[in-house]
Amino acid sequence: MTAANAVLDEAVRLLRAGQLVAFPTETVYGLGADARNAAAVARVFEAKGRPAGHPLIVHLAGAGAVREWASDFAAPAQKLARAFWPGPLTLVLPRAPDVLPAVTGGQDSIALRVPSHPLAQALLAAFGGGIAAPSANRYGRVSPTCAAHVREELGERVALVLDGGDCEVGLESTIVACLGGELSLLRPGIIGRAEIEAVAGPLADTAARAPRVPGSSRTHYAPATPLELVAADRLESRCTELVAAGYALAVLARRPARASLPQVTWRVVAAAAPAFGHDLYATLRSLDRLGVSGILVERVPESEEWAAVRDRLRRAAARDTPDGT
């Protein structure tokens, strides 16, 4: 038996025993538990510090298992599954009657996803059931995009971390609800609105009607350091203002500084949306560790390809700005 097989066997043994196993997906690392085991699911909430009532995504090896979890798999949802699974898309469907209430947060719907990461695929195939897995971070914090982040976040709270390297996408999956004959986008991701509409028809404009999504609470995906979004042409002047007020700052920008700014750690990140999204969480984590009193992030474009990054940055900034403005 190879070492890789031995680790996978151990992961399956732990899941069957109701323990938590973190695993890589192409989006971010997940904190996995047997979705049919109430005690295991309860452990997920405890390890994350996540309030009860916030539903989890159940990960499946393939679309063939959807009927075990959902009472309806309508044509538009099937089209999306065919087009994007395995991959970074989560479908919210009416739930099957026997799904554990803790998994769905007591709602009538369930979130399902078939990840494409080879290690996630291997784990799901070997386990043979659904794995409930939120992102493997403490509640409200930045999602982990490598195994070291998971250990940093959860330490001994997780029995095993499968190391599959760096996540390819780096931002959480796109979530589409297919409920009541209507499609709606609950969380933007790397699979964009236009790609979804090209496959399954128009998305409803929904914010008001959307089901409860904890990822939609205002202060999700946040680093510990206060974060402020600043227009590109105001970065230097805002730095000067805050430094004068005694702040030590870090800046995450798509271009170098145009002035010399002592007291400021200026980090240049990729200028294109997918690469920016890939690096965002790891960069925020490293800026968080600097011990600065504020992080300024250059505002990103308003175009559709930036929707997922914009969404995560808006939430990360929702707490308060460094000087309370």
Subset of 25-54 contacting ligand TXA (CB under 6 A): 25, 27-28, 30, 54
Residue 116 within binding range of ligand TXA, rule CB under 6 A: no
Please say which residue, 135 or 283, places its beta carbon nearer to Mg ion.
135
Cβ contacts of 229-237, under 8 Å, gap ≥ 24: 229/296, 229/297, 229/298, 229/299, 229/313, 229/314, 229/317, 230/296, 230/297, 230/298, 230/299, 231/298, 231/299, 232/298, 232/299, 235/296, 235/298, 236/261
DSSP string, 100-160: -HHHHTT-SEEEEE----HHHHHHHHHH-S-EE--BSSSTTBPPP-SHHHHHHHHGGGSSE
- Which does residue 110 bind out of Mg ion, ligand TXA, none, counting CB within 5 to 8 angstroms by kind? ligand TXA
Closest CB 177 distance from ligand TXA, rounded Å: 6
The piece of 43-51, 129-137, 185-193, 285-293 that touches Mg ion (CB under 5 A) is 129-137
Please say which residue, 47 or 111, places its beta carbon nearer to ligand TXA.
111
Task: Compute, in degrees rounded to 10, the torsion defined by CA atoms 285, 286, 288, 293.
Answer: -150
The amino acid occupying position 149 is H
Among positions 25, 135, 174, 283, the unique one binding Mg ion when judged by CB under 5 A = 135
Closest CB 213 distance from ligand TXA, rounded Å: 4
- Nearest alpha carbon to residue 154 among 134, 170, 172: 134
Among positions 186, 239, 251, 297, the unique one binding ligand TXA when judged by CB under 6 A = 186
Please say which residue, 51 or 301, places its beta carbon nearer to ligand TXA.
51
Residue 55 within binding range of ligand TXA, rule CB under 6 A: yes
Please say which residue, 19 or 27, places its beta carbon nearer to ligand TXA.
27
Closest CB 91 distance from ligand TXA, rounded Å: 10
Question: x/- site string to ligand TXA, residues 158 to 177, per CB under 6 A?
Answer: --------------xx-x--
Among positions 19, 90, 184, 225, the unique one binding ligand TXA when judged by CB under 6 A = 90
Task: Compute, in degrees rounded to 10, the torsion defined by CA atoms 207, 313, 319, 158.
Answer: 100
- Nearest alpha carbon to residue 88 among 165, 162, 188, 180: 188
- The answer to whether 27 and 169 have CB atoms below 8 angstroms apart is yes
Count residues near Mg ion (CB under 5 A): 1
The piece of 101-109, 150-158, 224-232, 243-251 that touches ligand TXA (CB under 6 A) is 101-109
Interface residues toward Mg ion, by CB under 5 A: 135
